[in-house]
Amino acid sequence: MSASSVTADGRARVLADGSQLPMLGLGVWQVPAGAACINAVRWALELGYRHIDTAQAYGNEESVGRALRDSGLPRDAVFITTKFFPSNRDPVAAAEQSLKRLDVDYIDLYLIHWPERGPTWAWPGMERALQRGSARAIGISNFGVGELEQVIAAGTVRPAVNQVEFNPVHYRRGLLDACLAQDVAVEAYSPLGTGRRLSDKTVRRVAERAGRTPAQVLLRWCLQHGLPVIPKSTHRDRIESNAQIFDFVLSAEDMTALDSLDKTKGTERALEHKWW
Ligand SMILES: NC(=O)c1ccc[n+]([C@@H]2O[C@H](COP(=O)([O-])OP(=O)(O)OC[C@H]3O[C@@H](n4cnc5c(N)ncnc54)[C@H](OP(=O)(O)O)[C@@H]3O)[C@@H](O)[C@H]2O)c1
């Protein structure tokens, strides 16, 4: 990562095309459509989040759109990511459906959710969605180094982002280095390990030392590696405290202790097990 990849205030990752991806977003995987999702997104927007991460597979794009509308914020103040569900065949048609459900004119970032049936077949459709203006940026998710290289070789536009599971236990250093070398931003999903890393002994020790919550420590660890984070919560107090990660710094010693939790051996892979 070059020094200029994150804005001076530390709030956004600058993508290859110069656009900015906010370093903090709210993830809404496993948040049921309806009141739960509308409330979570509403609270996040009230509390200063300007980035929401949803997907066609999550079934809650309409609720995200509803909360966005209700917030009264201008469309261009909020960064919306959604993901192409690759069991479908046509990224362009699927993007149109997402735009309707979200009730917006464009998606800020449109990702292939996972490389089902191979890494390259959906990319031309993603590029068309970009050309048509349905998406402002396109990228991939759950792609390892080999898969990323195939997309780059086959396409005319490079993925702006690769969204992968990333936290101290899944410190995919090989994948991160390869993405950065190709000017592809890595975005950290499941930064709390879907909640499982919050009780880790080392994480708790660092949190005590820093006077912070385990969640804040895990999120801050990603920020200090230059990675945007999209923690999920349906609780207002947690959504609030998860945003308080820009006013402290983990020491080099704490970063090293957290780095050493990696169980992937610095892998170039995006996933340990496929789910498709
Ligand atoms: N591209 C992909 O394939 C992919 C895959 C997985 C995830 N994602 C994205 O990444 C987002 C985040 O990942 P994730 O949903 O796996 O989980 P996560 O953000 O790592 O962890 C969320 C879990 O931690 C709990 N939690 C959140 N903040 C907390 C806090 N301050 N204190 C205690 N518990 C807290 C949440 O519970 P409560 O809700 O009850 O607070 C929830 O159980 C997803 O929502 C999705 O947008 C993408």
CA of 108 to the centre of ligand 1 (A): 21
pLDDT at 2: 53
Compute CA distances 31 → 50, 92, 230, 233, whole Å: 18, 25, 13, 8
From 58, 110, 171, 189, the catalytic residue: 58
The finding on whether 219 has its CB within 6 A of some atom of ligand 1 is: no
CA of 221 to the centre of ligand 1 (A): 16
> CATH number of the domain that 101 lies in?
3.20.20.100
275, part of any domain: no
pLDDT at 189: 98
Q: What is the pTM of this model?
A: 0.98
The finding on whether 233 has its CB within 6 A of some atom of ligand 1 is: yes
Q: Considering only CA atoms, which residue is closest to atom 37 of ligand 1? A: 233
195, part of any domain: yes
Number of domains making up the chain? 1
* Encoded tokens for 238: 């947690």
Ligand 1 atom closest to Cα of 242?
31
Q: Which of 143, 194, 216 to mutate to test the pocket of ligand 1 (most atoms within 8 A of CB)?
A: 194
CA of 27 to the centre of ligand 1 (A): 7
Ligand 1 atom closest to Cα of 167?
20
Q: Is 58 a catalytic residue?
A: yes
pLDDT at 193: 98
The residues of the chain scoring below 70 in pLDDT are 1-4
pLDDT at 3: 45
69, part of any domain: yes
Give the range of the structural domain holding residue 229, as residue numbers without chain letter: 3-259
pLDDT at 30: 98
CA of 73 to the centre of ligand 1 (A): 24
266, part of any domain: no
Among residues 184, 181, 202, 180, the alpha carbon closest in space to that of 193 is found at: 202
Phi, psi of 145 (to 5 degrees): -60, -45
For the chain, what is the mean pLDDT? 97
CA of 154 to the centre of ligand 1 (A): 33
> Could you give the strand order of the β-sheet that contains 185-189, starting from the edge strand earlier in sequence?
26-27, 51-53, 79-84, 107-112, 135-141, 161-165, 185-189
Q: Considering only CA atoms, which residue is closest to atom 36 of ligand 1? A: 233
Q: Considering only CA atoms, which residue is closest to atom 9 of ligand 1? A: 189
Compute CA distances 220 → 26, 155, 245, whole Å: 15, 34, 6
Report yes or no: 226 and 5 within 8 Å, Cβ to Cβ. Answer: yes
276, part of any domain: no
127, part of any domain: yes
Ligand 1 atom closest to Cα of 164?
1
Cα radius of gyration rounded to whole Å, the chain: 18
42, part of any domain: yes
Q: What is the pLDDT of residues 251-274, one digit of tens each?
A: 999 999 999 999 999 999 999 999
CA of 147 to the centre of ligand 1 (A): 25
272, part of any domain: no
The finding on whether 25 has its CB within 6 A of some atom of ligand 1 is: no
The finding on whether 196 has its CB within 6 A of some atom of ligand 1 is: no
